[in-house]
């Protein structure tokens, strides 16, 4: 049985990497420990916030200071740093 390996292009690696980082960030922002109310963000809000932070856009649907704990703010900060490094290394 001959299985062909599918090689990804550099652009596909970049998009895949951003997708994984955004999904991981979204899951972390959905944890109850990430928000002050202890319920976590909804799925749409978490994906939007993680995408905005990773792509260094700066848009957010909730007030960061009021809505997020230190853990949630740290997740957002790390997403911004990782996204910035990704943009600078392209």
Write down the pLDDT at residue 1: 55
CA distance 69 to 14: 30
6, 8, 10, 79 from 3: Cα distances, Å: 9, 16, 22, 36
Higher pLDDT among residues 85 and 80, named by residue: 80
Write down the pLDDT at residue 89: 73
For residues 67-86, give the mean pLDDT: 93
6, 25, 53, 61, 70 from 74: Cα distances, Å: 36, 11, 11, 17, 6
In the chain, where the domains are located? 11-89
CA distance 34 to 20: 19
Q: What is the pLDDT of residues 11-56, one digit of tens each?
A: 898 889 999 999 999 999 999 999 999 998 999 999 999 999 999 8
Tell me the pTM: 0.85
């Amino acid at each position: 049985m001959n299985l062909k390996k599918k090689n990804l292009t550099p652009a596909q690696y970049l998009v895949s990497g951003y997708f994984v980082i955004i999904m991981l960030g979204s899951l972390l922002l959905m944890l109850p420990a990430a928000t002050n109310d202890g319920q976590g963000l909804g799925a749409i809000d978490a994906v939007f916030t993680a995408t905005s932070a990773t792509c260094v856009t700066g848009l957010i649907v909730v007030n960061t200071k009021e809505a997020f704990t230190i853990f949630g703010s740290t997740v957002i900060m790390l997403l911004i740093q990782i996204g910035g490094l990704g943009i600078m290394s392209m």
